[in-house]
Structure 1
Amino acid sequence: MPRWLGPAPQPKVAILGAAGGIGQPLSLLVKINPLVSQLSLYDLVNTPGVAADLSHIMTDSEVKGFKGDAELKPALEGAQIVVIPAGVPRKPGMTRDDLFNINAGIVKTLATAIATTCPKALIAVISNPVNSTVPIVAEVLKAHGVYDPRRLFGVTTLDLVRAAKFISPHTGAITAVPVIGGHSGATIVPVVSAVSSAKGISAADRAALIQRIQFGGDEVVKAKDGAGSATLSMAYAGSLFVDSLLKGLTGKATPKEYTFVNSEVAKEFGLEYFASEVTLGPNGVETYHALPSLDADEKKLLEVCVNDLKANIAKGVDFVKNGSK
């Protein structure tokens, strides 16, 4: 018998946007995670087929597909983790901010269903632009009186995945790099100075490395020539974050992740949200960690990041409070 079969634990994971370019590979990766007992897949179309396909994989978790507005709440019932990759993909020449008008309404609708169906769930937001969609979810939860900042996360893991991969030619190995700030362009601040094995990188190579980490998504959009954005790498990164949430829920592990959250770290910069390191547990965030030390160049990057984040966050808040687009 395959070693991964055995008694299934309890967590139910709901993926909203499960039939999309990120949603399908993410659903596959979550399906094979042994910590999942139930996988609930929701989208406007095609989810019953995706669920049927995944249900043939020989892991213990049960998969159900839900589609259409009427099945959103049934998809969420009993979920302990909700992952939101729903939305349209980025196209050539389109920034993450350009996605706002389309994706903001989608995220607001999904957040409303979460608030009224599974308000205690841990919510992982992938839908771009994360810098604005996380505040949208938060404002909806606040309006329903169920907001817990420890349970809401913007998934920035892809920035760390890219950083670890892109720095490897300079360090000779895949090397973890702290990435703080936000999840778009100049709001992404890689703390290369924290990597001891990268001390010998030239100033020019370091600048190119940071640029590539910040705008790696553009590289994929261009390579796909209008056919999509970073879906597979995002699904991989998303699955890593979901795995950490699941491990935290067990109460037997204390995984650490960098993620876009409401924290005291954010308040240092006059912000409500900021990507920094946290320790996860049964209630979501258990510990917020201080930022790593920054060198002079990284402090300059941080200044740009904070300025841009203020506008991104305000845009999300305003969308919910005033209906602004």
Structure 2
Amino acid sequence: MFAARRTASLFQKRAFSASAINASKVSVLGAAGGIGQPLSLLLKLNPRVSELALYDIRGGPGVAADLSHINTNSTVTGYNPDASGLRDCLEGSEIILIPAGVPRKPGMTRDDLFNTNASIVRDLAKAAAEAAPKAHVLVIANPVNSTVPIVAEVYKARNVYDPKRLFGVTTLDVVRASRFISQVQNTNPSGEAVPVSNHSSIAGQARDALVNRIQFGGDEVVKAKDGAGSATLSMAMAGARFAESLLRAAQGEKGVIEPTFVDSPLYKDQGIDFFASRVELGPNGVEKINSVGEINEYEQGLLDACLTDLKKNIQKGVDFVKANP
């Protein structure tokens, strides 16, 4: 009980008075899953959400009934697992979160998830493009480097693509980095996207070990859960945090910045249409995409390796939709 109160207060501290908060319908596709349930719980506790719409291939109405007993003002509705239920869930949504998909298991890479999750995301994107083409779409389903381009291609095919309203949720990477760095330095987590090299006390093998842990934090959780799941709770927190930031920006707050994977001009000259960086959010989604900034030789090496793989990941998503429209 006390934990729930503390969690709710995280959102309430940032919220306007009840009369100043606009009505916002938020939909969660995959709401009964390992990420979907805690994500939906956090959204139920968010006073900026007036209507929470939940959909899954099974269990959506049950999760909704459970959450509807929580004493916050938002209404919660679970929809039937069919085409009309999905359409009703999506219509009128301001934000659509997509955590749907299969979780990682021991030994699986993000690419191993692709064949299953690609089809799931494609089909949900089709429904969203038809029922709520103006909604902000937050893709959580992995591998995000490929699933976000899938959504983009689906929307382009229907002439409703707005690059400012499509986001890959990469917030967990920053949350992990903040936590892991604070543990090494014995400080409070900052919550900001700050390069590891900016922390001068971390160098050499300690830096390499820290970077490796941040990069493979998901594997750490999968292994610890011994095949029973992946990073569901921390991912739910990251998704809820991003949705909260987007709602704050949509409701008029200035200077809201979050790291996210978006259609970006930063590396388009290299054939890379999407990139994750610090993005300033506004009422219409992406307001400003910040550059990477000055980086050192070590960071440049990481970036070069990233860009090579990223280009392939993006193309994989594009090719999937072309072959499986």
User: 2:103 matched to 1:89?
Assistant: yes
Aligned partner of 1:25 in structure 2 is 38
Aligned partner of 1:115 in structure 2 is 129
Distance (whole Å) between structure 2 residues aligned to residue 177 and residue 32 of structure 1 = 23
The residue type equivalent to 2:154 in the other structure is: V
Residue 248 of structure 1 aligns to a residue whose secondary structure is helix
RMSD: 1.7
**Aligned CA distance change for structure 1 residues 106 and 18 (closer, same or farther; 3 Å):** same
Distance (whole Å) between structure 1 residues aligned to residue 103 and residue 201 of structure 2 = 37
Aligned partner of 2:161 in structure 1 is 147
Alignment of 1:61-210 (within 5 A): 61-70=74-83, 71-173=85-187, 174-176=189-191, 178=193, 191-193=195-197, 195=198, 198-210=199-211
User: 2:310 matched to 1:309?
Assistant: yes
Alignment of 1:250-269 (within 5 A): 250-269=251-270
The residue type equivalent to 2:193 in the other structure is: P
Given that 2:28 and 2:96 are in contact with CA atoms closer than 8 Å, whether structure 1 keeps it comes out as yes
Distance (whole Å) between structure 2 residues aligned to residue 6 and residue 270 of structure 1 = 46
Residue 253 of structure 2 aligns to a residue whose secondary structure is coil
The superposition leaves residues 19-69 of structure 1 with CA deviations (integer Å, 9 ceiling, x where unpaired) of 000000000001110101100001011111110111111111110001312
TM (norm. structure 2) is: 0.92
Aligned partner of 1:274 in structure 2 is 275
Residue 239 of structure 1 aligns to a residue whose secondary structure is helix
Distance (whole Å) between structure 1 residues aligned to residue 40 and residue 71 of structure 2 = 14
Given that 1:107 and 1:133 are in contact with CA atoms closer than 8 Å, whether structure 2 keeps it comes out as yes
Deviation at 1:176, TM superposition (A): 4.1
The superposition leaves residues 3-32 of structure 1 with CA deviations (integer Å, 9 ceiling, x where unpaired) of 969446311000000000000000000111
Distance (whole Å) between structure 1 residues aligned to residue 229 and residue 184 of structure 2 = 29
Residue 213 of structure 1 aligns to a residue whose secondary structure is helix
Residue 297 of structure 1 aligns to a residue whose secondary structure is helix
The superposition leaves residues 211-251 of structure 1 with CA deviations (integer Å, 9 ceiling, x where unpaired) of 00000000000000010000000001111001001101102
Structure 1: 4+ residue segments shifted above 3 A: 2-8
Segments of 5+ residues of structure 2 without an aligned counterpart are 1-7
Distance (whole Å) between structure 1 residues aligned to residue 307 and residue 278 of structure 2 = 17
Given that 1:260 and 1:275 are in contact with CA atoms closer than 8 Å, whether structure 2 keeps it comes out as yes
Aligned partner of 1:52 in structure 2 is 65
The residue type equivalent to 1:34 in the other structure is: P
The superposition leaves residues 130-184 of structure 1 with CA deviations (integer Å, 9 ceiling, x where unpaired) of 00000000000000000000000000000000000000133332134537xxxxx
Deviation at 1:290, TM superposition (A): 1.2
Given that 2:196 and 2:202 are in contact with CA atoms closer than 8 Å, whether structure 1 keeps it comes out as no
Segments of 5+ residues of structure 1 without an aligned counterpart are 180-190
